[in-house]
Amino acid sequence: MKYLISTTTLFLVCILAQGQTVTISGYIQDHDTGENLIGATVYSLNDQLGTTTNYYGYFSLTLPAGTKE
């Protein structure tokens, strides 16, 4: 049984490593008021990928692993 669990875990780790992406997410708020910023743009210059915040100021952006900007 331990062998099956170890093999399954290793298999799942290999599958996840192949995707090699990183997801960055969070909330964007106004510095002074703390108000959530709706429609703010989050953009990666290197990958030319971006997204905007939703009604709650939340964003989620998936980038290739190794991206620095």
Tokens of 42: 């989050």
The stretches in the chain having pLDDT less than 50 are 1-14
Tokens of 2: 């331990």
Q: What percent of the chain has pLDDT over 70?
A: 68
DSSP 18-33: HH-EEEEEEE-B-TTT
Which pTM value belongs to this model? Answer: 0.66
Q: What is the pLDDT of residues 43-59, one digit of tens each?
A: 988 889 999 999 999 99
How much is the pLDDT for 57?
93
- The Cα 54–Cα 19 span in angstroms is 26
